Structure 1
Amino acid sequence: MKKPNSKLRYDYFQKIFKKFHDNKPKVPPLNNYSTSKRIYHARYDTENKDNNEDDQRSEDEKAFSESYLSQFLQIDDEELESMTESHAKLLSSLDDTPPEGIYSGNGIVFVGGGSFNWLTLLSVKSIRALGSEMPIEILIPKLDEYELDICARIFPALSARCIYLPYALSDPDASDSEAEADIISKFEFKGYQYKALAILLSSFENVLLLDSDNIPVHRPDYLFSSEPFTNNGLIVWPDFWRRATSPYYYKIAGIPISKTEVLPKYDEVNGAYVPYDAPPYEGGDDHEHLNLDRIPLHQRKGAIPDPTSESGQLMISKSTHSKALHLALYYNLYGPNYFYPLFSQGSDGEGDKETFLAATVAVGKPFYQVAKFLNAFGYFNSKNEFEGTGMGQYDPVEDYEYNQQRQLYQNNLKQWEVLKTKDHLLKNGPRILFVHANFPKLNPWKLKSEKKIIDSKGNRLRLYGTGMKVRTGYDFEFVQWSNMKFLLCDLKIELITFKGVDRVDLCKEIHEHLLFLKSTMSSME
């Protein structure tokens, strides 16, 4: 049975996608680079010493200045004019708020489907075990990725429900004439586009979007009713990389970048945005201008601030950021050929992750960037080389509180140090709230068959090292394997992911690894 607002939702989505279609880029794909050189492995590091005598890079390259970032993707005047016109027309047509009755409440959203159904189930189980009562919705993109048992029985038992993409976007009971006029049918969805679609199609007004391989380690419900979300409407978390967005993007989006003012400087060591003490200025006729070859483009006021975003988790309010969400979806629909090259220029992590913050800056809405730099999880192999296996992202509420206090005492460091001895949060900083277990994924059979949990000597190992109890408050790895046992061996849930895998062998592997994890608990820090 359709919900009372189904017709309203379908009409709303048709109108949005008509705007996307009418204002699609009308130029060939943006793939003209001046050379084969790309901005690879631009790790964010404010401790990098630019005055190293062996460093032969130019000042603008060190700084990721406007002139440096202009050397890669090339757009001619005709293409620039066309892209700018399309972007401006779309932006002027987008609504600030959704129709009343389309969305309500707070909730968690995943993109599932196929192998992601198992990872989502593992995360949902963890969320419920933490005591969270937040409603959960899972987008299933394609028919062959829909699993009847998990959507009809398992997820509902965990207060979660599946959203089947084709039926959520377009009315399955539409007449032939309505179906023929369906503008959405002209679009083909895949990959990175699903996240923005999942947010749009969810029933929630306020969304915590999680990757299927992202597992909260504490109950996340309070995030929706606390600052910084209540005052900003968008929260993003940092990624490893420096921002490499092309200067052409700002021209296309009509975003002015200051030549005289700077943004607070990101300090990933202390997890804070701090005043830029001594920006490199040069003299001018009337006033001082920034030395644009020595300052990052994304340090200048008006630009999207450093560092890049990691979209394993994202919070957004549709009541305040609908226009930004629609623009982000537009960026993703036309992302591979147009906006991904503009945002990343071939640098690390190209995809949807830059679109949400860029769209929010483009429409002039507030946002909060978590200042605490991510924690790289992993272990040291037999050669004493670090093997990264996941990312820890921090609590935005504690991050906000920590930095509010830090700013109050930024001119009185002695008093700040005294306060840190008396306050747990100020002393230890924000706690880890999310474990993005992205490489490798927590699929017990693949971990075994691909020898991801076996070292070169044939011994079992902990994927996240021995420090997880300190970082998350408990033995995260043991808890996840216990959840695997409960779901796959106790409840015997059938999933396409494990089709063809002998259940006895699978559960034997889970049991043996649990015994190993239990035997090594004493080695945890």
Structure 2
Amino acid sequence: MLSRARLIQRLVIFAIFSFLLFVGSQRIPLRSNTVPSAPSAPSPARDSSYERQVQFWKNLHNLLESNSPATDPPERLKKAENVLFDPNANYTRPDLFAISEGDVKQLQQVHQRVVQKIKNDNSSLELVYHRGKRGIVSAAGRKYLPTLVISLRLLRRSGTRFPVEVFIASQEQYDEVVCEQILPTMNAVCIVLSGILGTNVVSRLEPFQLKSFAMLFSSFEQLLWLDASCFPIHDAIEIFQSKPFTHVGLVTWPDFWSSDPSRFFNTIASKPEPPVSERASTDGGQLLISKKTHAKTLLLASYYNYYGETHFYLLLSQSDVGGSDKETYLAAASVLDEPFYAVNEPIRSIGHRNANGHLDSSATVQYSPTEDYKLTNQGINHVKDANAGPIPHAFFLRTSYSKMSPVNLFDPSRNGSEEVSPIRGPDGKPSRAWTAEKETIDSLGGPDVEREYWSHVRWTVCTLEGLQFKDWKDKEGTCQQAKEYFDAVFAPKDRR
């Protein structure tokens, strides 16, 4: 008979052996260098919500396809012109398109069916997301990924700790270096949208059209959309947990231009025409929305975007020749009578003066909705009166991709000419990009913000070059140029 001590010893050995056997059976395979085949972090098939997302998309796709406008696109009658927004101006809404009476009736009937389906269907069109989860959503094709990395580093520098989901349209746009080596270090993941929507759908949609679907399929209940070139300069938690967002569930920011939807849209939507002076057009760089309160807004916006290129971009913004999604969210909320808050504080440009003294803008600034909401409730509105009182603190900075693309920035020959480079003065020498308007720059934190920005540009350029980023394989030397520019402009004087 075994002694008590020996029996205990054998039981311990057996337990250890059983544990090791279990661990061996659960061993996680080494990371593969292949591109994920489905949209999550890195593959949605590993997420329990993926099947529900696919089913939701089947239902939504059926709604979209079965309610095609089935008419010719609106016919443009006149050349479009952007008009700066001025609430005190007395001008009439432009009328730039022609649509036949029969087509208007057809569009009205289809639109009514879509709206009624969205309003009444609470099961098959239920969005799939994690209740109570907050996060940042963005999207980028491969060529925009370096700009996105810069923005995410600055987002983390602001103190914002929310997780980030970056939507990539297709496997062809996916990049292993950024998605598997860099983004995970910043609590960010890539999600390949074609794994849910299908390659046929994604291939015929433009980037602007995909934005609404990225928000629909993000895992967050409350989300802040940021374009790849946009980042907050303060912790974004401020705008999530205060009014107006906690009160209305949808916040947008203004663009420079007047809002100019076609009268035909209001007829199609069976809504009265709002005054031209009601608010400015919408800036698409950032958007704050809650799916708990505005799921139906996102669904209707997805319809407007699905048929945006042919119909709704023209109807919602007559002067926006290229067309984009930026007006679809407030339009959808208005049609569904869901509340929203459009920030009043005007958008502002920063850049530097060219040889003629004109401002060459390379970035824009947007302001805190929290403070804007408080000031508006006090009757302070800088759109109507520039001297009305204090302004909200600056909150977002958005760079111009065409001017600030890292790989094209430092070599003047790639940028066309030295005269248009945002980082060279009229004399062609390296200079700060943001020196005007001084008041706006000071509201950001002064030159230190610009120095911080370029330090992250330098890091990103050198890191991607070192990791052999695919899109830069024929563009060596950018890292050295970035270092030389930073040292020339921002190094301490005693080091120059």
TM over 0.5: yes
Aligned to 2:73: 29
Give me the whole-angstrom Cα distance separating, in 2, the residues matched to 1:94 and 1:100: 12
Q: Which residue in 1 is equivalent to 2:167? A: 139
Matches within 5 A, 1:413-432: 428-432=390-394
Match among 454, 460, 483 for residue 430 of structure 2: 460
**2:373 counterpart of 1:378:** no
Alignment partner of 1:87 is 2:111: yes
How much does 1:8 deviate?
Answer: 1.4
Local SS of the residue matching 1:223: helix
Report if aligned partners of 1:214, 1:438 keep a CA contact under 8 Å in 2.
Answer: no
Deviations along 1:208-237, one digit per CA (max 9) or x if unpaired, are 001101121112122111111111111111
Q: Distance in 2 between matches of 1:165 and 1:40?
A: 35
User: Take 1:350 and 1:12, find their aligned partners in 2: how far apart are those partners?
Assistant: 27
**How has the CA–CA distance of structure 1 residues 521 and 108 changed in structure 2, closer, same or farther, with 3 Å as cutoff?**
farther
Q: Residues of 2 paired with 1:167 and 1:44: CA distance?
A: 41
Query: 1:277-356 counterparts in 2 under 5 A?
Result: 297-299=275-277, 305-347=278-320, 350-356=323-329
SS in 2 for 1:230: helix
Match of 2:30 in 1: none
Please tell me whether residue 498 in structure 1 is matched to residue 472 in structure 2: yes
User: Shift of the alpha carbon at 1:490?
Assistant: 5.8
Letter in 2 for 1:496: K
SS of match in other structure, 1:206: strand
Distance 2:229 2:202 in 1: 31
Distance 2:208 2:462 in 1: 33
- Find the counterpart in structure 1 of residue 407 from structure 2: 445
- CA-CA distance at 1:86 after TM superposition: 0.5
Structure 1 residue 427, shift from structure 2 partner? 5.4
1:116 aligns with 2:116: no
Structure 2 counterpart of 1:151? 179
SS in 1 for 2:327: helix
**1:11 counterpart residue number:** 55
- Following superposition, the deviation at residue 496 of structure 1 comes to 3.0
Q: CA RMSD in A?
A: 2.7
**Aligned to 1:398, which of 354, 359, 371?**
371
Which amino acid in 1 is paired with 2:485?
H
* TM-superposed deviation, 1:348: 6.1
Residues 340 and 393 of structure 1: is their aligned pair in 2 closer, same or farther, counting only changes over 3 Å?
Answer: same
Equivalent residue in structure 2 for 1:359, among 310, 314, 332: 332
Q: 1:520 to 1:356 in 2, by over 3 A?
A: farther
Give, in whole Å, the separation in 1 of the partners of 2:348 and 2:398.
10
**Cα deviation digits, residues 115-141 of structure 1 (max 9, x gap):** 111111111111112222101000001
Matched-pair contact (CA < 8 Å) for 1:370–1:400 = yes
Structure 1 position 188, deviation (Å): 2.5
Give the distance between the partners of 1:484 and 1:346, measured in 2 at CA.
34
Question: In 2, Cα distance between the equivalents of 1:473 and 1:28?
Answer: 50
Query: By how many angstroms is 1:336 displaced?
Result: 1.3
What's the secondary structure of 2:85's corresponding residue? coil
The counterpart of 1:205, out of the listed 198, 221, 224, is: 221
1:15–1:485 distance in 2 versus 1, CA, 3 Å: same
Mapped contact 2:168–2:193 kept (Cα < 8 A)? yes
Cα drift, residue 405 of structure 1: 2.8
Matches of 2:81 and 2:265 in 1, distance apart? Answer: 19
Alignment of 1:238-277 (within 5 A): 238-257=254-273
Q: What TM-score results when the alignment is normalised by the length of structure 2?
A: 0.80
The DSSP-based 3-state class of the residue aligned with 1:365 is coil
Structure 1 counterpart of 2:489: 517
* Preserved contact between residue 394 and residue 434 of structure 1 (Cα < 8 Å): yes
Distance 2:174 2:493 in 1: 38
Kept in 2, the 8 Å contact 1:487–1:493? The answer is no
Partner of 2:16: none
Which residues in structure 2 correspond to 1:215-254 (within 5 Å)?
A: 215-254=231-270
- Aligned partner of 1:73 in structure 2 is 97
Asked if residue 484 in structure 1 is aligned to residue 446 in structure 2, the reply is no
Kept in 1, the 8 Å contact 2:461–2:482? The answer is no
> What secondary structure sits across from 2:295 in the alignment?
helix
8 A contact 1:39–1:244 mirrored in 2: no
Match of 1:59? none
CA distance in 2, matches of 1:520, 1:334: 53
One-letter code aligned to 2:52: L
**1:439/1:465 CA distance change after superposition, 3 Å:** farther
With structure 1 as the length reference, what TM-score do the two structures score? 0.76
**Equivalent position of 1:63 in the other structure:** 91
Work out the number of aligned pairs and report it.
430
Q: Identify unmatched segments of 5+ residues in structure 1.
A: 49-61, 173-183, 258-262, 264-296, 300-304, 418-425
Amino acid at match of 2:453: Q
The 1:11–1:76 alpha-carbon spacing in structure 2 relative to 1, beyond 3 Å, is same
Q: List per-residue Cα deviations over 1:269-322 (Å, max 9, x = no partner).
A: xxxxxxxxxxxxxxxxxxxxxxxxxxxx435xxxxx421000101111111111
Mapped to 2, the partners of 1:147 and 1:350 lie a distance apart of: 28
Q: Aligned to 1:379, what secondary structure does the other structure show?
A: strand
Shift in Å, 1:372: 0.4
Q: Residue 309 of structure 1 aligns to a residue in which SS?
A: strand
- CA gap 1:223/1:367 in 2 versus in 1, 3 angstroms: same
Residue pair 2:301, 2:332 contacting (<8 A) in 1 also: yes
Gaps of 5+ in 2: 1-44
Q: Which amino acid aligns with 1:250?
A: N
The reply to whether residue 167 of structure 1 matches residue 184 of structure 2 is no
| Distance verdict in 2 for CA 1:407–1:432, change over 3 Å | closer
Query: How much does 1:347 deviate?
Result: 4.2
Specify which structure has the bigger relative contact order, considering alpha-carbon pairs within 8 angstroms and separated by 6 or more residues.
1
Higher Cα radius of gyration: 2
